[in-house]
Structure 1
Amino acid sequence: MSDNRTVNAPTTLLPYLFESWPDVKRTRIKQWLKYGSVRVNSRAVTRHDHPLEPGDKVTIKVERAPRTKAAPMPAGLKIVYEDEAIIVLDKGAGWLTVATDSGKGRTAYAALTDHVRATDARNRVWIVHRLDRDTSGLIVFAKTEPFKRILQQNWHKFDKTYLAVAEGVIKRDSGTLRCHLNEEFSLRVRSVPPDEDTREAITHFKVLKRTQNTTLVELKLETGRRHQIRVHLSDMGHPIVGDKPYGAVTDPAKRLALHSSELHFVHPMTGEKMDFVLPLPDPLAKLV
């Protein structure tokens, strides 16, 4: 995005921005200013009271980051969207988001770090949220720590949708699943009676399709607890296909049949609504 105006009378920067871009939300304009997207005579300015004189050129410049061929993404990882603030990644099953305590396994974080450092060795990425190793789909990384904080502080407001292929036929068409989770154990989260050490998990579900032996379910997270979808479906008596730790007895796709299919959030710099949708991967689509 690039847009510019010419100043006609002496003023200061923030009031000029409000006046010159009346259709843009003021919070978004402040984000432009805070994170260096406002340029006066080609120079980035962040002070709201920066003086303007007639003839000054004010430009809003929010660019997608240039791609580089120096560090192509490895198989199983695909960049869906990238700009100077965020990277939205399509993570394949089998990839860790970040290294575990053992330090073993391929990580999306390491691959993206190599990607951004191909243009500047000082670049890095920040983790906003995580997907399990065997869950595929959309995941967001930030390219600065302030952007990471903005996204994490507002993450509960954003829409996150998953698709899962569950074992058996779920009879209810839709509903809300609630439980309290004990996340003490690293390999398997358990639903338990509530106490001071548990956290409530809430998932809204809708059945999209039924076959003779499976159910395709759409799941929207109200909370973001570790393994909450897996626990909720297991507690229903319909564990996710391929999810042996939570009671599944079938694994035709040789992977967990859980996919992060939609993310809808507000861009941390521009204030724009960002919408991303990924269909069910072929190995899982074939199950239904």
Structure 2
Amino acid sequence: MLKRKPEAFSKTEYTVQEQIELLPFLLKVLSKTSRNSVKSILTRGQVMVDGQMMRQHNYSLQIGQKVEIQSNQVALNISKLVGVTILHEDEDIIVINKEAGILSVASKREREMTAYRQVTDYVRSSDVRNRIFVVHRLDKDTSGVMMFAKNEKTQQTLQNTWSESVKERMYTALVQGKVKSESGTITSWLTENSAFKVYSSPIDNGGQHAITHYKRIQSNKKCSLLEVLLETGRKNQIRVHMEELGHPVLGDKKYGSTSNPLRRLGLHATALSFLHPRTGELVRFEAEVPAMFITRSK
């Protein structure tokens, strides 16, 4: 039925050999554990399916999927994270879902709790020598998928090959007003002034070339929900391009928004797809779109 192999990070990994629901699968592999205890393992978030936490008892497992059962201590360390959820962890990378309002890393002016600091504390809880390394960042008020490297070699590999390795950077944007076009592409050159505001120019002015693709998902008279794909990844690119489109991101006063019904920025990093730095395998991680984005644009 299955193969079993011990893994690092205080967890055991199983490979699914037949179609089966998650709870019955766990009851089989943990045959010496009571049904209630197995349910508790699920509830505590100790079970990962293909690197993503799964608590759904009737989740349908497919042949070849990887099921990891983490130690209770690992689960407890994860539960201490605030505004950060671990989507995937292996020996090279940690992928998280960062909530809006959490800084990716500390700046000279801001020393508050950051995603970087929390994930550092998490990896050091198993070994004080462990470190993480910044690969890319999300704005403080942007939520969604973000990745850290667990060693310097992986960081350098990812940063040096970013444009070739990253195959998809998808965002979901809730923007002001009804976007008329079903889809479109915005191309411009971006420059930043001394006040740290980025400006867009339709002609090459020596700035950074930026290309943003968008598709309208749903809309009403007040706002539109867009799926946004980055062809380039410049600072504030989506925010600047949405202002240029005439539909600034909701809550983005810096780039033209006049309302903030969400009490946060209407921007979410939904998916990140890239070639894994060790295996070369194409991997994809998603963070669920905030429900308020969907209900607000219906």
Task: Report the TM-score, using the length of structure 2 for normalisation.
Answer: 0.72
Q: CA deviation at 1:264?
A: 0.9
Confirm whether residue 233 of structure 1 aligns to residue 242 of structure 2. Answer: yes
**Residue equivalent to 2:137:** 130
**Residue equivalent to 2:108:** 101
Deviation per residue, 1:183-236 (Å, 9 max, x gap): 24464211135333x111111111111112111111111111000000000011
Tell me, yes or no, if the aligned pair for 1:264 and 1:273 is still in contact at 8 Å: yes
Pick which of 120-129 and 97-106 moved more.
Answer: 97-106
**Residue equivalent to 1:163:** 172
Pick which of 82-91 and 204-213 moved more.
Answer: 204-213
Give the length in aligned residue pairs: 228
What is the identity percentage for the equivalent residue pairs of Structure 1 and Structure 2?
A: 40
- Hey, what's the Cα distance between the residues in 1 that align with 2:80 and 2:87? 11
Tell me, yes or no, if the aligned pair for 1:176 and 1:202 is still in contact at 8 Å: yes
Distance 1:139 1:185, change over 3 A: farther
2:125 aligned to which of 99, 118, 121 = 118
**Structure 2: gaps of 5 or more residues:** 6-67
Distance 1:176 1:2, change over 3 A: farther
Q: CA deviation at 1:65?
A: 8.8
**Residue equivalent to 2:84:** 77
Tell me, yes or no, if the aligned pair for 1:180 and 1:199 is still in contact at 8 Å: yes
Distance 1:233 1:120, change over 3 A: same
Matches within 5 A, 1:1-288: 67=74, 69-70=76-77, 72-157=79-164, 158=166, 159-185=168-194, 187-192=196-201, 193-196=203-206, 198-288=207-297
- Hey, what's the Cα distance between the residues in 2 that align with 1:128 and 1:64? 28
- Hey, what's the Cα distance between the residues in 2 that align with 1:253 and 1:85? 36
- Hey, what's the Cα distance between the residues in 2 that align with 1:2 and 1:146? 29
Per the alignment, in what secondary structure is the counterpart of residue 162 of structure 2? helix
Per the alignment, in what secondary structure is the counterpart of residue 69 of structure 1? helix
Task: Report the TM-score, using the length of structure 1 for normalisation.
Answer: 0.74
**Residue equivalent to 1:55:** none
- Hey, what's the Cα distance between the residues in 2 that align with 1:220 and 1:64? 34
Distance 1:2 1:200, change over 3 A: farther
- Hey, what's the Cα distance between the residues in 1 that align with 2:188 and 2:152? 33
**Larger-gyration structure (1/2):** 1
Q: CA deviation at 1:249?
A: 1.0
Tell me, yes or no, if the aligned pair for 2:145 and 2:287 is still in contact at 8 Å: yes
CA RMSD of aligned residues (A): 2.1
- Hey, what's the Cα distance between the residues in 1 that align with 2:70 and 2:195? 37
- Hey, what's the Cα distance between the residues in 2 that align with 1:154 and 1:73? 33
Pick which of 250-259 and 264-273 moved more.
Answer: 264-273
Instruction: Report the residue type matching 1:194 in the other structure.
Output: D
